[in-house]
A and B are shown apart, each in its own frame.
Chain A
Amino acid sequence: MVEAQAHAQAHAGPQGFIRKWVFSLDHKVIGLQYYFLALTAVFVGMFLSLLMRIHLIWPSVSLPLFGEIKPEAYLSLLTMHGTIMVFFVLTTAPQGGFGNYFLPIQIGAADMAFPVINMLSFWVTFLAYMVMLSAFFVTGGAPLHGWTGYPPLSALPSAGPGEALGADLWVISIALFCIGALMSALNFITTTLDMRARGMSLMRMPLTCWAWFITAILGLLAFGVLLAAGILLLLDRNAGTSFFVPLVTINGQLAGHKGGSPLLWQHLFWFFGHPEVYIAILPAMGLCSQLVSVFSRKPIFGYKAMVYAMLSIGIMGFMVWGHHMFMSGMSPYSGFAFSVMTMAIGVPSAIKTFNWLGTLWGGKIRFSSPMLFAIGFVSLFVSGGISGPFLAQPVLDIPLHDTYFVTGHFHLIMGVASIFGIFAATYYWFPKMFGRLMNERLARWHFWFSLVGTYAIFMPMHYLGMAGHPRRYSELTEVGYLHNLLPLQKFITYVAFITIAGQFIFLFNLFWSMKFGKKASDNPWEATTLEWTTATPPPHDNFAGRTPVIHHGPYEYSVPGEPRDFVMQTDPLTVAVR
């Protein structure tokens, strides 16, 4: 059955430019499309954050082209930075980009289960991205309600600049994104369940595939809820309904709503929003498990534990959303229950960390650039994770909620740790995607800039938070105790300049290596998974008409008695192993 499907799809690739590169059905091309969309998004998002950092410490400076950044413009930058980064980078690159490109190859399939749906999901995402960016250019500018869009602020056009057309575009964009993500999730799940090559049992899948699979399940369950919430918000804004808005007055004017609940939005949003952080980081977890094993030349420590840990993160990820709402007016009894669940979800995350360390232990570590970023990921994951148990406690949320402590926490773990996953994936799979290696020396410089810069930017945010610095303040001039924190804010901005400059090393390396990089062999890292058994770049049907047969799990490195220190998944082991 599986074989028949694979044969049926072993067709010649399309020849015309449009069918090959624009409206392509090939999962590899779609993967690259997602990747380059995310690449532009990450630089846009990063640029917005730089403008925010500049405004924060020099509120009245006039920038070339932009002029002075006003407080409301700061909030628009903040909203768009968060939204673009979360949706169009962290959700898009690891899953839509690398997942699309490598899931079918790693399980030995010729393509995704539904190539047309795959193409549609990219183009809907692209449309969502364009709608999001257009919010900058309408009257009133981009919305200022933050990426979480809490109503009534996000529901009332009169609540502030940017809350008119800009906010409508924001909601429409997110709804479109949800549609794209739902289609994509369906495709990933079906592909993983139905398209695996002979011998590729679930427990022989690379951990990357497990991560993409679980991420897709989370996406399927989470994005549907956000889509519904987004539609309700759009109705509240434009059709006079009151799902989220009670009787309120803005500037002495009754807003014309009655009986809605602002907390309902928060429940719906975070029911999506918390699984979303796992959607962003699970692919990076899977990838780093892979890389730590490949470059330590050792099997992954505790493969089954890793799978179960990811599964339990996936399940429990849906039971903890209330920890974003300890201070919201939600029942304090619910707060207690959510905090117990949240502390419990720390356990599988800790298991993963132990297993990464266990894999390094006794290894023979090669410090190629993907491995550097994988080690950086583990370090950031620990540092960002360790502040989790603080914020998971309602009692400690009293002083810490909505302060920079939270900003530091989620940037380390959900933001930059996931971005390190994207970097690691880029350095690791670049030779397979483009047939050349990226420059190692530049990659190392990029790594050191990014690692040290990330810590220097986000660690001090924890100190700001303890001192009571609220998030989302466009200026520090109005509150007395914030004056003392200005030097630390200045330090963060200076480091941000340097760290952002360091990212151009990556950009240069990426495009330079496409043309001038050293030619790569089919398996430059001496890894065992299926993408390294096929040609570089892979042919249209991935395996040139062959159907791979899988003999064992993905991490057979340094098996005693084997001639080489790695055994491809398609090669039988010559010695019997446990």
Chain B
Amino acid sequence: MGLVLLIIIWLITIISSYFFVARTWWFPVGASAAAASIDHYFTVTLLLMGIVFVAAQGILGFFAWRYRDRGTSSVAHYSHGNDRLEIAWTALTFILFVGLNLMSSSIWASERFRPAQPGAVQVEVTGMQFQWYFRYPGPDGKFGATKPELIDPSIGGEGAVGLDATDPASKDDLVTGTMYLPVGREAEVILRAHDVIHSFFVPGMRFKQDAVPGLAIHMHFTPISTGDYEIVCAELCGLGHYKMHGMLKVVSQQEFDAWLAARESEKQ
């Protein structure tokens, strides 16, 4: 029985580890400025935790086989433990875990502690059952006022986020169902939700943030390569949660400007 345990535990360990090493299923290609450091940090954590995983399971399987009851020939070793060992592994784990934690804090700080840079593209992202809306402030660079009582998702576009047409700043606001961003420029997203909590998750950008009713959450990320990236909702928001998705199109600055101008003229 000890040998069977050893074989099964070791097999489970090897097979589980194989798919992490082979990267059969893996993160999508990272296309934001922060992606490289997040991915690197993931790999470091994976390596350290992988060693602990393989070592612990390996020893568990080995001990089960090595110290099996072999009748009269084996005698259990009488010991209540060893204080020095206890202190040693407590200290080592503490250093490993807290060290790992401190290593990641600078990435977290650069992502979340500082506000967006002044030149960032501003987009207001609004989550509503079960659709994402993206609002651009237009040439005046100001978001117009919105009113909750004006919100009507059945109209779509500006009506869906309750844009107040009487506010002069709202005249040039654009509301779209697809998100456009220029490559290589920081994007400041202002996350809102008008009904329940949603979560704006763009795996390719390594970006995720809940959109919470009552809050306007300011976040930022910088796309570094052009292409289409899927946006999904990562917080359970109701029966259509699984289909609440959108598309982020990262384009060159020229294409972005042209797209904005075209939408602006459509609106007038």
Residue numbers in B under 8 Å from A254 (CB-CB): 148-149
A557 to B2, alpha carbons, bound, how many Å?
21
- B25, A467: Cβ atoms under 8 Å? yes
B145 within 8 A of A: no
Residue numbers in A under 8 Å from B41 (CB-CB): 393, 395-396
- A470, B89: Cβ atoms under 8 Å? no
Digit string of A436-471 for contact with B (CB within 8 Å is 1, else 0)? 000000000000100110010001101110111011
- A144, B239: Cβ atoms under 8 Å? yes
Q: Which residue of B lies closest to A71 (CB)?
A: B239
Count contacts between A and B, CB distance < 8 Å. Answer: 345
Contact partner, B148, options A249, A364, A382, A399, Cβ 8 Å: A249
Contact partner, B16, options A336, A455, A476, Cβ 8 Å: A455
B168 within 8 A of A: no
Residue numbers in B under 8 Å from A480 (CB-CB): 230
A411 to B242, alpha carbons, bound, how many Å?
22
Contact partner, A327, options B129, B210, B237, Cβ 8 Å: B210
Residue numbers in B under 8 Å from A448 (CB-CB): 8
Residue numbers in B under 8 Å from A70 (CB-CB): 239
Q: Which of B69-77, B178-186, B251-259, B260-268 contacts A (4 or more CB under 8 A)?
A: B69-77
- A365, B2: Cβ atoms under 8 Å? yes
Known: A401-B234, A478-B245. A298 touches B25 (CB 8 A): no
- B214, A246: Cβ atoms under 8 Å? yes
A383 to B201, alpha carbons, bound, how many Å?
27
- A467, B26: Cβ atoms under 8 Å? yes
A344 to B19, alpha carbons, bound, how many Å?
29
Q: Which of B116-124, B135-143, B191-199 contacts A (4 or more CB under 8 A)?
A: B191-199
A346 within 8 A of B: yes
Q: Which of B211-254 contact A (CB under 8 A)?
A: 212-215, 217, 230, 232-243, 245
- A393, B57: Cβ atoms under 8 Å? no
Q: Which of A15-41 contact B (CB under 8 A)?
A: none
Q: Which residue of A lies closest to B216 (CB)?
A: A329
Residue numbers in B under 8 Å from A559 (CB-CB): 78
Q: Which of B100-127 contact A (CB under 8 A)?
A: 100-101, 104-105, 107-109, 111-113
A196 within 8 A of B: no
- A160, B238: Cβ atoms under 8 Å? yes
Known: A248-B213, A479-B230. A357 touches B59 (CB 8 A): yes
A403 within 8 A of B: yes
- A390, B210: Cβ atoms under 8 Å? no
- B75, A160: Cβ atoms under 8 Å? no
- B105, A386: Cβ atoms under 8 Å? no
- B8, A252: Cβ atoms under 8 Å? no
Known: A301-B81, A392-B101, A473-B241. A252 touches B153 (CB 8 A): yes
A245 to B193, alpha carbons, bound, how many Å?
12
- B237, A470: Cβ atoms under 8 Å? no
A389 within 8 A of B: yes
What bracket does the count of chain A residues touching chain B fall in?
35 or more
- B213, A328: Cβ atoms under 8 Å? no
- B214, A396: Cβ atoms under 8 Å? no
- B75, A389: Cβ atoms under 8 Å? no
Residue numbers in B under 8 Å from A498 (CB-CB): none
Q: Which residue of A lies closest to B110 (CB)?
A: A395
- B111, A347: Cβ atoms under 8 Å? no
Q: Which of A183-191, A257-265, A502-510 contacts B (4 or more CB under 8 A)?
A: A257-265
- B67, A363: Cβ atoms under 8 Å? yes
Residue numbers in A under 8 Å from B93 (CB-CB): 346-347, 350-351
Residue numbers in B under 8 Å from A297 (CB-CB): 69, 76
Q: How far is the CB of B219 from chain A (nearest CB, A)?
A: 10
Digit string of B49-85 for contact with A (CB within 8 Å is 1, else 0)? 1001100110110011001111000111111111101
A173 within 8 A of B: no
Q: How far is the CB of A10 from chain B (nearest CB, A)?
A: 35
Q: Which of A95-103, A146-154, A204-212 contacts B (4 or more CB under 8 A)?
A: A146-154
Digit string of A337-349 for contact with B (CB within 8 Å is 1, else 0)? 0011001101100
B12 within 8 A of A: yes
Q: How far is the CB of B106 from chain A (nearest CB, A)?
A: 9
Q: How far is the CB of B98 from chain A (nearest CB, A)?
A: 6
Contact partner, B210, options A328, A478, A488, Cβ 8 Å: A328
Residue numbers in B under 8 Å from A392 (CB-CB): 101
A360 to B5, alpha carbons, bound, how many Å?
14
A210 to B154, alpha carbons, bound, how many Å?
59
Q: Which residue of A lies closest to B25 (CB)?
A: A463
A12 to B196, alpha carbons, bound, how many Å?
58
Residue numbers in A under 8 Å from B100 (CB-CB): 343, 389, 393
A398 within 8 A of B: yes
Digit string of B151-162 for contact with A (CB within 8 Å is 1, else 0)? 111100000001
A468 to B12, alpha carbons, bound, how many Å?
24
Residue numbers in A under 8 Å from B171 (CB-CB): none
Q: How far is the CB of B80 from chain A (nearest CB, A)?
A: 5
Residue numbers in B under 8 Å from A245 (CB-CB): 213
Q: How far is the CB of B62 from chain A (nearest CB, A)?
A: 9
Residue numbers in A under 8 Å from B217 (CB-CB): 329
A397 to B101, alpha carbons, bound, how many Å?
13
Q: How far is the CB of A309 from chain B (nearest CB, A)?
A: 9
- A71, B240: Cβ atoms under 8 Å? yes
Q: Which residue of A lies closest to B24 (CB)?
A: A463
A366 to B75, alpha carbons, bound, how many Å?
12
A513 within 8 A of B: no
Q: Which residue of A lies closest to B196 (CB)?
A: A153
Residue numbers in B under 8 Å from A298 (CB-CB): 76-79
Task: Count chain A CB atoms within 10 A of each CB in B81, B104, B243 and give the residue with the most.
Answer: B81
- B101, A343: Cβ atoms under 8 Å? yes
Residue numbers in A under 8 Å from B20 (CB-CB): 462-463
Residue numbers in A under 8 Å from B111 (CB-CB): 332, 395, 398
A230 to B164, alpha carbons, bound, how many Å?
37
Digit string of A307-320 for contact with B (CB within 8 Å is 1, else 0)? 00000000000000
A353 to B93, alpha carbons, bound, how many Å?
12
A392 to B97, alpha carbons, bound, how many Å?
10
A159 within 8 A of B: yes
Q: How far is the CB of A155 from chain B (nearest CB, A)?
A: 9
Residue numbers in A under 8 Å from B80 (CB-CB): 299-303, 555, 578
Digit string of A281-302 for contact with B (CB within 8 Å is 1, else 0)? 0000000000000001111111
Smallest CB-CB A-B distances: 7 pairs = A246-B214, A362-B77, A468-B203, A332-B112, A302-B81, A463-B25, A72-B239
Q: 6 A-B Cβ contacts within 8 A?
A: A153-B196, A390-B45, A448-B8, A468-B27, A470-B233, A555-B80
Given known contacts A302-B80, A375-B60, A396-B42, what 10 new A-B pairs fall within 8 Å (CB)?
Answer: A150-B235, A249-B148, A351-B93, A365-B69, A379-B12, A386-B49, A467-B27, A475-B242, A478-B242, A555-B80
Which residues of B come within 8 Å of A, CB atoms?
1-2, 5, 8-9, 12, 15-16, 19-20, 24-28, 38, 41-42, 45-46, 49, 52-53, 56-57, 59-60, 63-64, 67-70, 74-83, 85-86, 89-90, 93-94, 97-98, 100-101, 104-105, 107-109, 111-113, 129, 148-149, 151-154, 162, 191, 194-197, 199, 201, 203, 206-210, 212-215, 217, 230, 232-243, 245
Which residues of A come within 8 Å of B, CB atoms?
70-72, 75, 144-146, 150, 152-153, 156, 159-161, 245-252, 254, 260-263, 296-305, 327-329, 332-333, 335-336, 339-340, 343-344, 346-347, 350-351, 353-355, 357-358, 360-367, 372, 375, 378-379, 382-383, 386-387, 389-390, 392-399, 401-403, 448, 451-452, 455, 459-460, 462-464, 466-468, 470-476, 478-481, 485, 488, 555, 557-560, 565, 578
